[in-house]
Amino acid sequence: MKLTEKDLEFLKRLKNLIGQENLGIELREDGIKRLVLRRNYGSHIESVFGMSRQGVRWRFNRLFNQIYVSSYVSICWIESNFGTELRPKAMAIAKQHVELRRKANQTNAFWGLHTRQGRE
């Protein structure tokens, strides 16, 4: 599943708030394990993200408990059926994709182009 522009912006803001120790991510375990957002979760957070607290919770849950965890589920399934020998190759491909996206974004920024190409 690909990340949208809104997802990327949300993750940047979340990273800044976690770095400032205004928010934290914890593992919650009450029957089923999941990641939850903790700490200062008031109106300040709503203004930083530009959405309601429910919107922040929804996007966090989608990104961390659906997309992120399901990616690892897929990896575990593939590796349990085909072994871990492909992991270094897959990581090399992923790193190349990230580097190509970074270069494309720098080039687009230089030329003043605003495209969604290469964003996941």
Considering the domain architecture, whether residues 41 and 56 belong to the same structural domain is answered as yes
Domain that holds residue 28: 5-82
| Residues 103 and 76 reside in one and the same domain | no
pLDDT above 70: residue 38: yes
Are 114 and 70 part of one and the same domain?
no
Amino acid at 43: S
Q: What percent of the chain has pLDDT over 70?
A: 87
pLDDT for residue 120: 46
Lowest-confidence region among 2-6, 81-85, 96-100? 2-6
Q: Are 118 and 101 in contact (CB under 8 A)?
A: yes
Supply the pLDDT for residue 32: 93
Q: What mean pLDDT do residues 38-61 have?
A: 85
Q: How would residue 112 be classed by pLDDT, with cut points 50, 70 and 90?
A: low
Is the pLDDT assigned to residue 69 strictly greater than 90? yes
Whether residue 49 sits in one domain with residue 23: yes
Instruction: Tell me which amino acid residue 24 is.
Output: G
3-state secondary structure the chain: CCCCHHHHHHHHHHHHHHHCCCEEEEEEECCCEEEEEEECCCHHHHHHHCCCHHHHHHHHHHHHHHHHHHHHHHHHHHHHHHCCCCHHHHHHHHHHHHHHHHHHHHHHHHHCCCCCCCCC
Q: Answer yes or no: do 47 and 58 share one domain.
A: yes
Whether residue 73 sits in one domain with residue 24? yes
Q: How many domains would you assign to the chain?
A: 2
**66 and 36 inside one domain:** yes
Token pair in block for residue 44? 């300040």
Domain co-membership, 73 together with 16: yes
